[in-house]
Amino acid sequence: MALFELTLAEAADAVAQGELSPAELTGSVLERLDAVEERLGAYVAVSRETARESAALAEREIAAGRYRGPLHGIPFGLKDLIDVAGLPTTASSRVRAEHVAQADSAVARRLFDAGAVFLGKTHTHEFAYGLTTPQTRNAWDQGRIAGGSSGGSAVAVAAGAATFALGTDTGGSIRVPAALNGVVGLKPTYDLLSRHGVTSLSWSLDHVGPLARTVRDAALVLSALTGEDSEDAVGPGVARPGYPPSEEEDLTGLRIGVPVNYYFDRVSPAVETAVRGALAQMSDLGAELVEVEIPLARYVQATQWGLMVPEATAYHEQALRSVPELYAPDVRVLLEAGELLSAGDYLRAQRARTLMRQAWGQVLEQVDVIAAPTVPMTAAEVGQDIVEWPDGTTESVSDAYVRLSAPANITGIPALTLPVGRDQAGLPIGMQLMGPPMGEALVLRAGQAYEAVQDGRDGLAPVAA
Amino acid sequence: MSDVELTATEAARWALRAGLPLESERHAEVAATANHIHAVVRTLRELDFGETPPATHTIEAEATDGAL
């Protein structure tokens, strides 16, 4: 096995034991990155020299007995909405051509403090306002979309061009590309992780979170991003339990809500079969499957759009007036049209969110977690705009990918996606585990239990170098 | 009035009132997108909100340790 194929946990164990050199690991990941980047287009920019220097520093620190923890010496990528001091945060947009970040974002600072090795910035759909990330290709089939908007982060992790990465999620932008590329993605509870220094799409829906190869890896990253010494913590006195890797395979006592509406409507047969198969395995581990009704499902898209569209337009108010021609056409027209929504539309969406949070809270009193497909179909072909469903309805590809992710953004609850199989074409399928607010430990534990009983990992995407 | 669609000219006037002058060749496309967005969000008019206030940006919860 090449070093770039190691999971974060495997690499961290080896580094901690003195069996793996961070410099060699980083060198291997950079070599892999260079071998696949032309085919995948995952990165906006790669900081090769900085990465090699950071890895060498990590090696010296560890040799001197100053081991900082599991992320020490581990190479990672950052979605290019996340500030690193002295580097452009391009948001994959020409609008940001001259941008240079003055300071590190809070999450980047956390990772630097943990000793992680920054590789570079990964592509996003422009300003995170889309679900495809057109600059990047799916790690499993380059004729397919990466998904978005954290497409570069997901593809880099899937291909071995980063051991982990961070993304952002406003309507599924971590979970969608994670699912489409066969990796794990976690959208934490709203506000669990600071968005300071992260370019916003929609303030009230935005979340930052990890993408990794395994649930265990995602838990390690989340632990590093939280903790007691944050200078940008949610608030004083907020308990931060950490997210220790779980070895527990027994799910006895876990009540998993299985939606009887919405989440399995207009879902491809391969996706439904894989998710229900994964749920059967979790039942075998002792979990109780409980049917649940998803409340206010008819209003999910209206609420998501009623919040996101005016907030995004407000964020871009100045640039839309000064340099509108620099936006990609799909993003520009959404921002312009957003000027025509009323305050009444926005307030109705915020009031609907109140109702939705209350109603979801009641469902999450009946069950511990809710399990569902992450996305209704595997990766679409590049250029495909519309999905036709067997019931005769059609839907835009973007709407389809947001549909099952948006409720966790509106309600702010944690949502984890993990791979649960592949379709006939070999494309990855993701399952989503959603928990109560601040229930990260629960969804991570449930995900790790599922992961622990799989017959070996699926491994990296088979990208030809 | 909820199903009234904006014409291209009306969309341009609304945008201008919001402080965003649009070039004439953009009027039709922006109107079509705005009408599509409005068709989605107007669904919320069906809801009886009663005394429901807008959501805050804070989620009240206590962290758990994952124990079952």
**Domain interval for residue A113:** 3-229+253-302+333-452
Q: 3-state class of A170 per DSSP? A: coil
Active site includes A79?
yes
| Cβ contact A441:B65 at 8 Å | yes
Contact across the interface for B14 and A339, Cβ inside 8 Å: yes
> What residues of A are in contact with residue B25 (Cβ under 8 Å)?
none
Average pLDDT over residues B26-33: 97
Higher pLDDT, A160 or B60: A160
Tally the domains of chain A: 1
> What residues of A are in contact with residue B38 (Cβ under 8 Å)?
340-341, 345
Mean pLDDT, chain B, integer: 90
Rounded to whole angstroms, how far apart are CA atoms A156 and A210? 13
What CATH number is given to the structural domain containing A360?
A: 3.90.1300.10
In a domain, A94, yes or no: yes
Sign of the CA dihedral A148, A380, A428, A360? Answer: positive
Given pLDDT bands bounded at 50, 70 and 90, which one contains residue A457?
A: low
User: Could you say which of A253, A340, A368 has the minimum Cβ distance to residue B11?
Assistant: A340
Catalytic residue among A47, A149, A268, A398: A149
pLDDT in tens, A245-298: 777 889 999 999 999 999 999 999 999 999 999 999 999 999 999 999 999 999
DSSP assignment, residue A381?
B
Catalytic residue among A28, A79, A92, A93: A79
Average pLDDT over residues A191-210: 97
Given pLDDT bands bounded at 50, 70 and 90, which one contains residue A106?
A: very high
In a domain, A307, yes or no: no
Interface of B with A (CB under 8 A): 6, 11, 14-15, 18-20, 22, 26, 29-30, 33-34, 37-38, 40-47, 49, 52-55, 57-66, 68
User: Could you say which of A241, A337, A412 has the minimum Cβ distance to residue B33?
Assistant: A337
Q: Does residue A216 sit at the B interface (CB-CB below 8 Å)? A: no
Distance from CA of A336 to the nearest CA of B (A): 7
> What residues of A are in contact with residue B53 (Cβ under 8 Å)?
351, 354
Q: Does residue A347 sit at the B interface (CB-CB below 8 Å)? A: yes
Q: How many CA atoms lie within 13 A of A367 on its CB side?
A: 22
Question: Would you state the pLDDT for residue A237?
Answer: 43
Task: Parse chain B into domains and list their residue ranges.
Answer: 8-46
Is a pLDDT exceeding 80 seen at residue A368? yes
Instruction: Express as a percent the part of chain A with pLDDT over 70.
Output: 96
Higher pLDDT, A1 or A210: A210
Given pLDDT bands bounded at 50, 70 and 90, which one contains residue A238?
A: very low
Question: Which one, of A432, A370, A436, lies nearest residue A401 by Cα?
Answer: A432
> What residues of A are in contact with residue B14 (Cβ under 8 Å)?
339-340
In a domain, A142, yes or no: yes
Contact across the interface for A438 and B19, Cβ inside 8 Å: no
Catalytic residue among A105, A173, A246, A268: A173
pLDDT in tens, A126-170: 999 999 999 999 999 999 999 999 999 999 999 999 999 999 999
Question: Which one, of A142, A171, A159, lies nearest residue A150 by Cα?
Answer: A171
Active site includes A153?
no
Rounded to whole angstroms, how far apart are CA atoms A405 and B66? 23
Residue A36 CB contacts under 8 Å (≥ 6 apart), including other chains = A42, A159, A160, A161, A463, A464, A465
| Cβ contact A107:A193 at 8 Å | yes
Question: Which one, of A435, A441, A445, lies nearest residue A412 by Cα?
Answer: A435
ipTM for this prediction: 0.92
| Cβ contact A163:A29 at 8 Å | yes
Mean pLDDT, chain A, integer: 95
Q: Does residue A288 sit at the B interface (CB-CB below 8 Å)? A: no
Total CB pairs under 8 A between chain A and B: 136
> What residues of B are in contact with residue A345 (Cβ under 8 Å)?
38, 41-42, 44
* pTM over cut 0.90: yes
Active site includes A149?
yes
In a domain, A460, yes or no: no
Burial class (CB in 10 A: 0-12, 13-18, 19+), A412: buried
> What residues of B are in contact with residue A340 (Cβ under 8 Å)?
6, 11, 14-15, 18, 30, 34, 37-38
Average pLDDT over residues A348-364: 97
In a domain, A273, yes or no: yes
